[in-house]
Amino acid sequence: MKTAAQLRKLLQEIDHRGYPAYKDTKGSYQFEGFVLHIDHVQGDPFAAPSKLSLSVGGGRAGFPAEYRKEAYTRIALEDYLTRLFSAKIEKGRFGAGSGKSGLVFMTRPGQAVLERTACQIDPAEGDILVRLEVGFPANGRTIRSEGLIRILFELFPACVKEVLTYASLDANRVRRVIELAEDQHTIREALPRLGLCAFVADGAVLPRESGVSDRPMKQAVPFSSPEERRVTLQLPHAGAVTGMGIPKGITLIVGGGYHGKSTLLEALEQGVYEHIAGDGREYVITDATAVKIRAEDGRSIKKTDISLFIRNLPNQKDTKAFYTEDASGSTSQAANMVEAMEAGTSLFLIDEDTSATNFMVRDELMQRVIHREKEPIIPFIERARGLYETEGISTILVAGSSGSYFYIADQVIQMEYYIPKDITVLAKEEAARFGAGEAFLSPRQTDAVWTSPCILRAPQASREFAKGERVKTKTMGRDGFQINRETVDVRYLEQLIDSEQVTALSYYLKYAERYLFDGRRTLTEVVDELCRLTEEKGMAFLAEGSYLPSGLARPRKQEMFACLDRYRGLRL
């Protein structure tokens, strides 16, 4: 390995030379207390910035070994260090010159705690690796190495010393990060034992600041559980925490417009992730497999068995292996639901407002006029109970206008001025008095509901890949990515919360195309293999060539599935 002094000398020598001379800096350099890796050097000042990483030995970093024993505390610590490191970098900007000259880019996490490539701690040794990007400075295309020398020899050593060294941090703050992760983990673990699919703590702040900010709303009405639903959880650090437990089964959230129904559901959607202290949703924890189901007109569907909900189409199209490049509201929602089942969900989250009405219900009068057998759609209301009783999949449904679901609900929560009330008894009595609910508890509820569609679906690679060939992908923020000329639209996957997850999905897809799509492995086997590799090696196995990009955040298995399901290039 070369020394820092050698790097400094090299940078001084190439000052004022043509930009390509920067290429010689690629390599690893021993600094005091850390190693700087220049993994990839950009070709010109306007290109994507250069990729760098910093590694600190576990002994030197000195974080307590018990903080990294479990993945969930280790990830919380990585997340904390990423936040500190990027905040420090932010303060010292060296931008001057052409293109991205002198800019330092480091991941800035949002409210959720995600596993990321920006900072990784080795579970065994405690070595820390931080990945970031630097625009190597130039004037026009003439190297101005002085700015880079300041970044590498002043900014980075200071950040490493202040952030990646346990001794220089406030040990109490670090401990509180670990304790929150342990408390959150305890709630997650407790849910199945208590027969719950979600928990919302008293005092939680659910609404967000605005449509574009994920921070908590100021002066929000804090959450308060209805007495009937209140449970007390003993957490290792926070002690007794009370809140609303949502039992498994079918739960309706009802109430007048603007009373906070969707806000509660959205908080539950995000409860598959852990949130940082101060977020307001620290103790809002949902079954980690929960999937938001909505209509998604226009999506492509590839050989999905939607016959559970749609059969006997007038055009004779096969709904056991349904194809379309432009799905309707109901077929898209049916596919979303079946695919979520394939992805192993045990909780559907549905908002009537973003659902296809004909997928959700068919009212009495319509049933009388248009006979059942003439209607290809078996609405969700006729399937929901069966899905719970035979497949164990619960549903939490926001219903603003349709009362039909009262008949099949196990519990009914009414939101009133942002405060939930349990109105199960009242709603059931009213439903019984109203009568005619049998139609919704038809024999279809107990059909053997699901014939595994994944057996049919074994994708082939879309083409041959040359050895060492790079497949280009481009992330379009949170909305999707491009792979070759194909756009994968993930905008309606509401539980994807970070563009880094989208970038990671593009890498997972690239990997699957190249190594896993062989016409034999089913989609389920492909995704299981991707998850297994991630568990075993972290996202490092996604690296193409010699380095792993800094901007990847780990998506859930459910979103990996959903991404492959929406890939129009999927060859089945």
Q: How far is the CB of 208 from ligand ADP (least distance, A)?
A: 7
Which of 53, 145, 262, 534 lies at the binding interface for ligand ADP (CB under 6 A)?
262
Would you say 206 or 381 has its CB closer to ligand ADP? 206
Q: Are 36 and 54 in contact (CB under 8 A)?
A: yes
Q: Interface mask (CB under 6 A) for ligand ADP, residues 417-456, using x and -?
A: -x--------------------------------------
Full DSSP string of 209-261: EETTEEEEPTTPPPP---GGGEEEEEETTTEEEEEEEEESSEEEEE-STTSSH
Residue 372: partners with Cβ closer than 8 Å, 6 or more residues away = none
Q: How far apart are CA 364 and CA 469, in angstroms?
A: 59
Under the binding rule (CB under 6 A), the answer on residue 220 touching ligand ADP is yes
Residue 398 CB, shortest distance to Mg ion, in Å, is 6
Residue 439, contacted partner among ligand ADP, Mg ion, none, CB below 5-8 A by kind: none
Residues 110-139 that bind ligand ADP (CB under 6 A): none
Q: Does residue 255 touch ligand ADP according to CB under 6 A?
A: yes
All residues at 6 or more sequence positions from 287 whose CB lies less than 8 Å from its CB, including other chains? 191, 197, 198, 272, 346, 347, 394
Q: Contact between 257 and ligand ADP (CB under 6 A)?
A: yes
Stretch that binds ligand ADP, among 74-82, 111-119, 179-187, 213-221 (CB under 6 A): 213-221
Residue nearest to Mg ion (CB): 262
Shorter beta-carbon distance to ligand ADP: residue 86 or 262 = 262
* CA-wise closest residue to 224 among 474, 422, 55: 422
For residues 527 and 562, the answer to whether their CB atoms sit within 8 Å is: no
Q: Which does 109 bind (CB under 5 to 8 A by kind): Mg ion, ligand ADP, none?
A: none
Q: Residue 258 binds which one of ligand ADP, Mg ion, none, with CB within 5 to 8 A depending on kind?
A: ligand ADP
Q: Is residue 258 a contact point for ligand ADP (CB under 6 A)?
A: yes
Using CB distances below 5 to 8 A depending on partner kind, what does residue 221 bind out of ligand ADP, Mg ion, none?
ligand ADP
Query: Which residue of 42, 145, 263, 345 would you call a contact of ligand ADP, by CB under 6 A?
Result: 263
Burial of 546 (0-12, 13-18, 19+ CB in 10 A): exposed
Pairing verdict, β 2-3 and 27-31: parallel
Examine residue 243 and tell whether it contacts ligand ADP (CB under 6 A).
Answer: no
Q: Phi, psi (5° rounding) for residue 239?
A: 80, -145
Q: What is the DSSP letter of 522?
A: -
Write a three-state SS string for 190-211: HHHHCCEEEEEECCCCCCEEEC
Give how many residues touch ligand ADP by CB under 6 A: 15
| Binding-site partner at residue 321 among ligand ADP, Mg ion, none, CB < 5 to 8 Å by type | none
End-to-end CA distance of the chain: 48
Instruction: Mark the segment that binds ligand ADP (CB under 6 A) among 18-26, 78-86, 214-222, 237-245.
Output: 214-222
Q: Draw the binding track, 144-183, toward ligand ADP (x: CB under 6 A; -: no contact).
A: ----------------------------------------
211 belongs to the binding site for ligand ADP (CB under 6 A) = no
260 binds ligand ADP (CB under 6 A): yes
Cβ 275 to ligand ADP, closest distance in Å?
16
- The residue assigned the tokens 């350099």 is 29
Quick one: what does residue 206 bind among Mg ion, ligand ADP, none, with the CB cut-off 5 to 8 Å set by partner type?
A: ligand ADP
Which one of Mg ion, ligand ADP, none is in contact with 220 (Cβ closer than 5 to 8 A by kind)?
ligand ADP
- Is 429 in contact with 283 (CB distance < 8 Å)? no
Query: In angstroms, what is the minimal distance from the CB of 363 to ligand ADP?
Result: 22
Contacts for 55 with CB less than 8 Å, ≥ 6 apart: 34, 35, 37, 127, 128, 129, 130
Partner in contact with 49, chosen from ligand ADP, Mg ion, none, beta carbon below 5 to 8 Å by kind: none
Q: Residue 379: name its binding partner from Mg ion, ligand ADP, none (Cβ under 5 to 8 Å by kind).
A: none
Binding region for ligand ADP (CB under 6 A) out of 257-265, 365-373, 470-478, 489-497: 257-265
Other C-beta atoms closer than 10 Å to the C-beta of 505 total 29
Compare residues 414 and 473 and give the one whose CB is closer to Mg ion: 414
Asked whether the beta carbons of 521 and 469 are under 8 A apart, the reply is no
Does 292 contact ligand ADP by CB under 6 A? no
Q: Which of 137, 207, 280, 480 binds ligand ADP (CB under 6 A)?
A: 207
Cβ contact 40:547 at 8 Å? yes
Alpha helices of 376-455 — where are they, by DSSP H?
Answer: 384-391, 424-434
From Mg ion, ligand ADP, none, interface partner of 190 (C-beta below 5 to 8 A by class): none
Residues 6+ apart with CB under 8 A from 290: 197, 198, 268, 269, 271, 272, 345, 346, 347, 348, 349, 495
Query: For ligand ADP, which residue of 51, 74, 261, 521 counts as binding (CB under 6 A)?
Result: 261
262 vs 506, which CB is nearer to ligand ADP? Answer: 262
How does DSSP assign 445-514, residue by residue? GGS-----GGGG---B-SS---TTPPPPEEEETTTEEEETTEEEE-TT-TT---HHHHHHHHHHHHHIII
**Whose Cβ is closer to ligand ADP: residue 135's or residue 207's?**
207
Q: Toward ligand ADP, which CB reaches closer, 97 or 207?
A: 207
Tell me which residues touch ligand ADP (CB under 6 A). Answer: 206-207, 217, 220-221, 255, 257-263, 415, 418
